[in-house]
Structure 1
Amino acid sequence: MNARAFDLTQLRTFIAIHDAGSISAAAEQIYLSQSTVSEQLKKLEARAGQPLLVRSRKGMRPTPAGTRLVAYARQIAALSEAAFEDLQGVLLDGELRIAITDYYRPHDVGRVLKRFTSLYPRLRLHVSAMQSSQIERTALTGEHFDVGLALRLMNGDVGADDGADDGAAGASTSATLVRRERLVWAMSATLREPVDMPLPLVTLPRPCALQTLVVNVLERHKVPYRVSHSAAGVAGMQLALGAGLGISCLNESALTPDLVVCPPSLGLPALPRAEFHLLPGRADETDLIRHARNALLRLFA
């Protein structure tokens, strides 16, 4: 290998650790052993000549060098894939409608889609933020979108009675997992303990299954609560939580700098994990949509 170049496989592993927040979570996502992932990170840091990730209470976080490198690594990986597709005669030219749950990496999804359009400038995107239940329910009709990314809840983590997948009943099981995250109880960093009871709860309207889960978990564990604020979407929930209007459940990547995970002293019940799935294509979809879905899968993951 060129002494002044990075190994593409190591860069991809580095991206996975950076995004997942830990070596174990990254290993799960990219289907490698933890020892292999750890070894690839060590080799990459040796090549870079400095640490790229360090351990913290919240998991692995990038050093200043790691923050700079991950931006390059994303571009290098995406360009490599785009070049391969170009040589295979794959040309994305036309319109594409994408439906995405707004729980998916709210701080990063715009950057991901911008990178996608820079790789395929002849593709015209129309992106809609939709509830996962609606995405799952209408996925097979193609009425509203061509490619869908939905959130599902992992039953079994806290008991089957606590909730259901954040999708319509009978949702497709052949969807592709692109990301897995913890769900956490979140509140403003300025909110002081003890928190008044009944618990002030910030919610989203039904049929958001994640919020339905929250209510089911609290009632099952006999935690008294009151709805202190109803938000229209995840962004509204983030603002309400940041303003100290209450407590709610969010996936980790939806936490903002002014939010913190609720301390154990509040005695809140355990929550399951969340998974983000790219829904499978329809039998009659075009080659354009199929190739675009594969390209998005690499970026979303």
Structure 2
Amino acid sequence: MTTHFDLAALGMLVAVAETGGFTAASARLGRTQSAISVRIQDLETQLGHKLLVRSRRGVTPTDAGERLIGHARRLLAVEREALTDLGGDTASGRLRVGIPDDYVDAYLRPLIARFAAEHPRVELELRCDLSKRIEPALAAGEFDLAVVTQDPNRPMGEVLRREPLVWVAARGHRPELQETLPLALFSEGCRARPRILSALAMAQKAHRLVFSCSHTSGMLSAVEAGFCVTAITESAVPASLRRLGPAEDLPALFELSVGLIIAPQPSLAARRFAEALREEMMTTQLAA
């Protein structure tokens, strides 16, 4: 029996357990699902224990798997500490990140300064765009990492969190009282837009589009002016707006899945940024 662990395989096991499946773990690690599966099977053979169980709910650890994951996290933490101590874990170079601009304030603003302080040799480059344009751009090599609103019919990447969409209007204004609801929406290509319009149509709520914009700042400015309402992610609601709902005769909305996609063979900078982003998302969700 082998007396040493394959730390890369342990990292794969932890990733599968944390993301709930091989597809999401593959997106996180930038490795194929088959490669991850083979390495975990090798671990199972080495230890003589089944570590993961597949079901309709996803992939979950067995009792032995849970015990090993606890040890694996500690071993991987020691490895990172050793690399950092010996100077072999210094991220550097340019890191290109694609993200819709409504997610920048909600997710990236809290961690950008911290990441820059911890990784001074990384040049961080953000580009904001619609998710449907970010995904092919990443596939073409234009980004190292992307945060997107997942397409519910063809989700890509690992799910970072699920964001409720909520109706909002300006404080001191009541545009929702108009017989025909004046509506502001992101430009065509926004993945939430057709679903918002569908929700209004199914509720038989009369509405008209009075403003359209590709940037959050423009959208919020229109709503804050008081002549329209919109629907945005819950974490993006500023203090200047008030939330609306059934009391205002507006239909219930839905959740968006926020996904993280990492380019194949990611750089150390991309892996470190992804780790920081996952930690930030988990912290803000627990605090919500």
Indicate yes or no: 2:278 matched with 1:297: yes
Indicate yes or no: 2:239 matched with 1:271: no
What per-residue deviation string (whole Å, max 9, x for no partner) do you get for residues 237-256 of structure 1? 11111111211111111111
Indicate yes or no: 2:102 matched with 1:103: yes
What per-residue deviation string (whole Å, max 9, x for no partner) do you get for residues 239-279 of structure 1? 11111121111111111111111142222111111221111
Q: What's the counterpart of residue 204 of structure 2?
A: 222
Distance (whole Å) between structure 2 residues aligned to residue 252 and residue 170 of structure 1: 23
Q: Which runs of 5+ in 1 are unaligned?
A: 1-28, 32-79, 153-163
Q: What's the counterpart of residue 244 of structure 1?
A: 226
Write 1 or 2 for the structure with the bigger share of helix.
2
> How well do the aligned residues superpose, as a CA RMSD in angstroms?
2.8
Post-superposition shift, 1:133? 1.3
Distance (whole Å) between structure 2 residues aligned to residue 244 and residue 178 of structure 1: 33
Relative to the length of structure 2, the TM-score reads 0.63
Is the contact between residue 82 and residue 119 of structure 1 (CA under 8 Å) also seen in structure 2? no
What per-residue deviation string (whole Å, max 9, x for no partner) do you get for residues 176-213 of structure 1? 22222211111112123761121100111110111222
Kindly provide the amino acid, as one letter, of the partner of residue 154 in structure 2: G
Q: What's the counterpart of residue 150 of structure 1?
A: 148
Q: What's the counterpart of residue 237 of structure 2?
A: 255
Distance (whole Å) between structure 2 residues aligned to residue 84 and residue 200 of structure 1: 58
Post-superposition shift, 1:280? 3.5
Relative to the length of structure 1, the TM-score reads 0.61
State the percentage of identical aligned residues: 25
Kindly provide the amino acid, as one letter, of the partner of residue 162 in structure 2: R
Kindly provide the amino acid, as one letter, of the partner of residue 250 in structure 2: L
3-state SS of paired residue (2:192):
helix
**1:217 and 1:85, CA in 2 relative to 1: closer, same or farther beyond 3 A?**
farther
Distance (whole Å) between structure 2 residues aligned to residue 194 and residue 290 of structure 1: 45
Q: What's the counterpart of residue 207 of structure 1?
A: 189
3-state SS of paired residue (1:104):
helix
Indicate yes or no: 2:214 matched with 1:232: yes
Q: What's the counterpart of residue 44 of structure 1?
A: none
Q: Give the greater-gyration-radius structure (CA).
A: 2
**1:298 and 1:214, CA in 2 relative to 1: closer, same or farther beyond 3 A?**
same
Kindly provide the amino acid, as one letter, of the partner of residue 89 in structure 2: V
Q: Which runs of 5+ in 2 are unaligned?
A: 1-17, 21-77, 283-288
What per-residue deviation string (whole Å, max 9, x for no partner) do you get for residues 45-94 of structure 1? xxxxxxxxxxxxxxxxxxxxxxxxxxxxxxxxxxx998676247321111
Indicate yes or no: 2:138 matched with 1:131: no
3-state SS of paired residue (1:184):
strand
Post-superposition shift, 1:135? 1.8
3-state SS of paired residue (1:279):
strand
Is the contact between residue 96 and residue 126 of structure 1 (CA under 8 Å) also seen in structure 2? yes
Distance (whole Å) between structure 1 residues aligned to residue 80 and residue 101 of structure 2: 26
**1:260 and 1:199, CA in 2 relative to 1: closer, same or farther beyond 3 A?**
same
Is the contact between residue 175 and residue 227 of structure 2 (CA under 8 Å) also seen in structure 1? no
Kindly provide the amino acid, as one letter, of the partner of residue 123 in structure 2: R
Post-superposition shift, 1:131? 0.9
Higher relative contact order (CA 8 A, sep 6+): 2
